[in-house]
Amino acid sequence: MNLQRFAAKELVLMKREYLILEETGGSPTDGAMSAISDEAILHSSQERPSLFGVLVDRYQAPFLRLAQRVVRERTAAEDVVQEAFLKIYRYAHSFKKGQDRKFSSWAYKIVMNTAITHYHKLRKREWLLPDPAVSGMDPTADEARVQYKEAVLERETQAVVGSVLDVMPEELRSLLKAYYLEDKSYKTIAEAENMSMGALKMKLFRARRLFRKLIT
């Protein structure tokens, strides 16, 4: 059984246990669970695996959107999410909540890394195949092949950057886009956001630090 199938089976079992516990009064209701933090549920799921189904319900849709932005295929994105949930559960013991460390940031990073790894595997298979646009051509074929691979890498980079920006807070995301993607000056951004130059630089520093955490 491959990892994706194993992950899918495990997640189905967890959710089934959770539903059974609800029906028999062995688990809090949905209303009660909504008031419990992700971190508390993750910790409790180590003793009661059925509770992990709550996190699956909360995050399956946003995780799937993120994965699909990277791998570009619905089926592949579903495989990524299943594998990521399995990793989250398996390594839950290593998660330690800190002042600037939330379950959502930690989990999104796992999804992102899993999606990127999956994307690289898919593209590696494509690169191993002869490119019909350049195979069997004259000596310029090598140059064309290099250009083709550079174009693929560029699209890949854009997809990853876009996916990371999507999970960042709106304020920090907009500042990064304005400064790096739209090439606006500090002065222009500060005036548009109605903030001092010092405040802008501090927020850009925080945005860059968060971006590095999410992408590495």
Task: Give backbone dihedrals phi and psi of 5, rounded to 5 degrees, phi first.
Answer: -65, -40
- In whole angstroms, give the CA distance from residue 190 to residue 200: 6
Partners of 101 in the β-ladder:
98
Q: Exposed, middle or buried: residue 107 (CB in 10 Å: 0-12, 13-18, 19+)? A: buried
Does CATH place domain 168-216 in 3.50.50.60? no
pLDDT above 70 covers what percent of the chain?
Answer: 63
Residues of the chain with pLDDT under 70: 1-33, 35, 97-101, 123-160, 215-216
What pLDDT does residue 57 have?
92
Per domain, the residue ranges of the chain are 3-154, 168-216
CA-wise closest residue to 83 among 112, 57, 40: 112
What pLDDT does residue 154 have?
61
Q: Domain 3-154 maps to which CATH number in 3.40.50.2300, 3.50.40.10, 3.40.50.720, 1.10.1740.10?
A: 1.10.1740.10
What pLDDT does residue 15 have?
55
- In whole angstroms, give the CA distance from residue 45 to residue 169: 28
What pLDDT does residue 215 have?
64
Domains 3-154 and 168-216 share a fold: no
**Helix ranges restricted to H, the chain:** 3-23, 30-33, 38-45, 52-71, 74-90, 103-128, 140-166, 170-176, 186-193, 197-215
